[in-house]
Amino acid sequence: MKNSSIRHTLCIIFCLLLGAALVSNLWAAKSISSGELFPEVLLPAPIDPDQRSYLGLIDDQPFTLQQIEGRVALIEVLNVHCPHCIKQTKPYNELYDMIEADPETNGKIKMLGVAVANDDEAIDDFIVIFGVHYPIISDHNFKLHSALRAGQTPFSLSLLRNQPGKSFVVTDTHLGNDFKMDELFDYLKDLLTMKSSDFTVSPQKVDFVDNKLLPPQSEKEISTLLQHAFAAQGDDLNNFHKLDLTSGRWVYTATLTKNGHRQPIFAEVSNRSAICDVCHSVHFFYIFDQTGLVLDFAPLQLTKIHNDDWDKTEVDHFARHIIGKNLDSNWDFDPKVDAVTGATMTSVIIFDEIGTGRALLEELQKENFLQP
């Protein structure tokens, strides 16, 4: 009851702050671009044997993009709940039909959708409801999404290689809807006359500092909120400060007395780009102890459909799925159980982010921050 009351108070404060200072969705790093190699991330094969045959896969085992047929590929990173991804299905169906009908492109240009944060059931429903012609596979654990340094969806990539079996090079990317299928078809067809070396560039260092994704609140405001949240966890709070971690993760710590013992307490401020290009970015913090046990969870900016803020009931409902779990636990997301209604994409981002807490705990251990 005490934690619920604290979250209620924090929610009121957060809503007031949000009204005063909203920020736009930003990427923490620039997405993959022309000239870079497409990452060889292991992907799940389509369940439908016809879709596997279209891609040139010989069985239902996980694959990398190197294994598909064709010299040119169009990859769409999407989410089945994203309204712009839904709008993209019709023109991409038209493009798929154009490619398959042309003897010069049939078998040489392949299309593939990769649904980030979606499971097979949601993807199957999406394919049936919107009559999708091209195969779509799941990236439910964000592995490809992360490797592409991708942010919002729909995000499409045109790829080229000199011959089958080789790695693809990114030739172009496009964020958002694209309805000019005649132009895109001509572009993909022209790629068949080119070489991947026409696009290859020297690898460049990725800057993870510029365009940093920031919450609506100032660092001073967040510090104050965290001190109040920390104080609710025990008595005699002191030595509150922000840690200087090698990873750069945004973490605070303090010491307090809880259950008769003096112990450290921690909080990470997490900031992630939205998956959908019409959604607000995701900002929250969670508190945990030296064993990795999650003690509290609170929003800094969490929205649902129509970009409405989560209300107290939704925050408390979601917090019950977070509090009491350990950072070392399995943080696989079940949309039927774990999602806030109308906020599936936000919910899965939170689970994925807290799921990286295991690495944070290891870093704190390595840097000797887990002792009082």
Q: What pLDDT is attached to residue 31?
A: 87
How far is Cα 109 from Cα 93, in angstroms, rounded to an integer?
14
Q: What is the CA radius of gyration of the chain?
A: 23
Domain boundaries, the chain: 2-25+213-366, 49-198
How confident is the model at residue 212, as a pLDDT?
59
Question: Token pair of 14, please?
Answer: 């957060």
Phi, then psi, of 144 in degrees rounded to 5: -70, -40
44-63 burial, b at 16+ Cβ within 10 Å, e below that, comes to ebbeeeebbebbebeeeeeb
What tens-digit pLDDT sequence spans the chain (372 residues)? 344 444 444 443 433 333 333 333 333 457 899 999 999 999 999 999 999 999 999 999 999 999 999 999 999 999 999 999 999 999 999 999 999 999 999 999 999 999 999 999 999 999 999 999 999 999 989 999 999 999 899 999 999 999 988 999 999 999 999 999 999 999 999 999 999 999 976 555 444 433 458 899 999 999 999 999 999 999 999 999 999 999 999 999 999 999 899 999 999 999 998 888 788 899 999 999 999 999 999 999 999 988 899 999 999 999 999 999 999 999 999 888 999 999 999 999 999 999 999 999 999 999 999 987
Pick the CATH number of 49-198 from 3.40.1160.10, 3.40.190.10, 3.40.30.10, 3.10.20.600: 3.40.30.10
* Residue 37 DSSP code: B
* β 235-242/251-258 pair status: antiparallel
Please report the pLDDT score of residue 229 as a whole number. Answer: 97
Report the pLDDT value the prediction gives residue 166, as an integer from 0 to 100: 93
Q: Are 102 and 64 in contact (CB under 8 A)?
A: no
Tokens of 39: 């990452």
36, two tokens: 């870079």
Query: Checking DSSP bridges between strand 155-160 and strand 72-78, what pairing results, if any?
Result: antiparallel
Q: Counting beta carbons within 10 angstroms of the beta carbon of residue 324, is it exposed (0 to 12), middle (13 to 18) or buried (19 or more)?
A: exposed
List the structure tokens of 54. Answer: 């279209």
Q: Which amino acid is at 37?
A: L
Q: Identify the bridge partners of residue 73 per DSSP, sorted by sequence position.
A: 110, 159
How far is residue 22's CA from residue 13's CA, in Å, rounded to a whole number?
14
Angle between helix 2-20 and helix 219-231 axes, rounded to 10 deg: 170
Say if CB 317 and CB 8 are below 8 A apart.
no
Give the end-to-end CA distance of the chain in Å, rounded to a whole number. 27
Could you give the angle at which helices 344-355 and 357-366 cross, rounded to 10 degrees?
30
Residue 236 to residues 1, 183, 223, 230, 343, Cα–Cα distance (Å): 21, 66, 17, 10, 37
Backbone phi, psi, residue 197, to 5°:
-65, -20
- Residue 213: its pLDDT value, please? 81
Print burial letters for 193-221: b (CB count within 10 Å at least 16), e (below 16).
eeebeebeeeeeeeeeeeeebbbbbeeeb
Distance (Å, whole) CA 105 – CA 102:
5
- Torsion angle, alpha carbons of 40, 44, 50, 56, to 10: 20
